[in-house]
Amino acid sequence: MREHSDTRARIQEIALRLFTEQGYEGTSLREIAEQLGVTKAALYYHFRTKDDIVASLSEDRHAEMENLIKWAQGRPRGPETRREFVLRYADSLYDSNHHAFMRFMERNQTALRDNPKVARMRDLMKGVMDILCDEGDSTAERLRRSMAIFTLHAAWFVLKDEEVSDEERKDAAVKVALDYVELPPAA
């Protein structure tokens, strides 16, 4: 009945929301189908398996992350690159709805531990850490760098109950994250 089936996109949208709210394992395909107003079988017309929905969701973010990492690898390691990288990472996270996807990933690490796309994402995150850390960094320093990226991800839900605009949220996240890639440890 619908013009030119955007069903696939709507499945992705609903799945991402439910997987994040209730967890991947806690969300059945029946639920997704019901919210969409189709039968379960329709989902299988568009995606081969439940895991496949996740895979499809990963794709954009993968591409974006690969670009970011490639950009950074073409530059000298150091404070300048780190600073700029955090800014670009924040942009790529907030200007699309990629923060929603990253939150979904964080909330479903265990459920998705065997999904190859998710494994790939873990590798990409290691690539990010490589960019932010130098060889001789202390343990505290490495932890600090990790937390910078974590902060960008977390801002969205840590501040979720506060009356704060998306703009403010992003600004706050970037401000805090930048401190942590720039400042030397207190020591």
Partner DNA sequence: GATGAATGAGTTTTCATTCAT
Partner DNA sequence: TATGAATGAAAACTCATTCAT
x/- mask, DNA, residues 109-148, rule CB under 7 A, reads: ----------------------------------------
Q: HSE of 153 in the Cβ direction (CA atoms, 13 Å)?
A: 13
The rounded distance, in Å, linking the Cα atoms of 99 and 89 is: 11
Least distance to a second copy, CB of residue 175, Å: 5
> HSE-up of 20 (CA within 13 Å, CB side)?
18
In the list 8, 10, 83, 107, the residue contacting a second copy (rule: CB under 8 A) is: 107
Instruction: Give yes or no for residue 99 binding a second copy (CB under 8 A).
Output: no
Nearest to 93 by CA among 16, 156, 23: 156
107 in contact with DNA (CB under 7 A): no
The token duo for 185 is 């440890």
From the list 12, 13, 23, 42, which residue makes contact with DNA (rule: CB under 7 A)? 42
Q: Is 21 near a second copy (CB under 8 A)?
A: yes
Please report, as ranges, the residues that interact with a second copy according to CB under 8 A: 20-23, 25-26, 107-111, 113, 138-140, 142-144, 146-147, 150-151, 154-155, 158-159, 162, 164, 168-169, 171-173, 175-176, 178-180, 182-183, 185-187
